[in-house]
Amino acid sequence: MSHPRYPWWGYVRKITERYPMMRAQLDELQKQSVVAAYGPQTGRSSLPGRSTESAALRQLSEKEQEELDAVEKAISVSTEETIELIRLVFWARSHTLNGAAMRLHLSYRSARRRQSDFLKRVAKYRGLL
């Protein structure tokens, strides 16, 4: 049975896999509601809308934000080909590493090295290295 090379390897793979979901969650949280309140007034005093304040308060947890930032930093310094490899294997989950390598005209070894480099960058930006 094989053992992970680094104790953080599985954790970094998971945060890389969750990146699209966390990005969508953050985008949804930051959407500002601009719907007017229609309907009869009930006579009770109501405070004016505080949509800007509530939008500022809706954020990811500190840990989730750090994970998201680490993946985004790794994306910003990676090549388009590496990002496509990560997209196919981790985010779309449509290819194995070998299948993604064939689609991108890479050797399996090159694809494995690019994936490893990407995950190590995420770990570095997350503060695990």
Domains of the chain: 61-129 (1.10.10)
Query: CB of 85 within 8 A of CB of 51?
Result: no
Query: pTM of the predicted model, to two decimals?
Result: 0.77
Write the pLDDT tens digit of every residue in 46-92: 555 555 555 454 577 889 899 999 999 999 999 999 999 999 999 99
**Averaged pLDDT for residues 94-121:** 97
**Structure token digits, residue 125:** 């930006």
Task: Tell me 91's DSSP state.
Answer: I
Find the range with the poorest average confidence among 27-31, 39-43, 60-64, 85-89: 39-43
Phi-psi region of 117 (alpha: psi -120 to 50; beta: other; left: phi over 0): alpha
Write the pLDDT tens digit of every residue in 3-18: 667 899 999 999 999 9
3-state secondary structure of 128: coil
